Amino acid sequence: MSKTVYKEVEIDVELTDFDDDDLLDEIESRGLGIGTANTRELLETIWLKRRQGQVFDTELDQLIYAALGKVV
């Protein structure tokens, strides 16, 4: 019969110890992220077009589909 032993340890870390890609990978691995790998690219495109006063309906529809799997 095998025995499982648990040990609790404290590690002092800051979020600044991790780069954005590490954090995004962790979020995705926990199933907390939205959509596919191009979600960030879609968000940046929407943000840029919105700032420039351009139409971004197509990209927004793609983002909704990537996040929810539903067509608008």
**Domain extent for 22:** 15-68
For residue 1, pLDDT beyond 60 = yes
- Please check whether residue 3 lies inside any domain of the structure: no
How far, in Å, CA of 8 to CA of 69, rounded? 40
How far, in Å, CA of 62 to CA of 10, rounded? 42
3-state secondary structure of 15: helix
Neighbours of 63 (CB within 10 A): 21
Q: What pLDDT is attached to residue 33?
A: 64
Residue 59 burial class via C-beta count within 10 angstroms: exposed 0-12, middle 13-18, buried 19 and up:
buried
Q: What pLDDT is attached to residue 9?
A: 94
Q: What pLDDT is attached to residue 34?
A: 60
pTM over 0.75: no
- Please check whether residue 5 lies inside any domain of the structure: no
Q: 39 falls in which pLDDT band (50, 70, 90)?
A: confident
- Please check whether residue 4 lies inside any domain of the structure: no
- Please check whether residue 39 lies inside any domain of the structure: yes
- Please check whether residue 8 lies inside any domain of the structure: no
- Please check whether residue 28 lies inside any domain of the structure: yes
- Please check whether residue 47 lies inside any domain of the structure: yes
Instruction: State how far Cα 15 lies from the chain centre.
Output: 16
Total number of domains in the chain: 1
The pLDDT of 17-26, averaged and rounded, is 86
- Please check whether residue 7 lies inside any domain of the structure: no
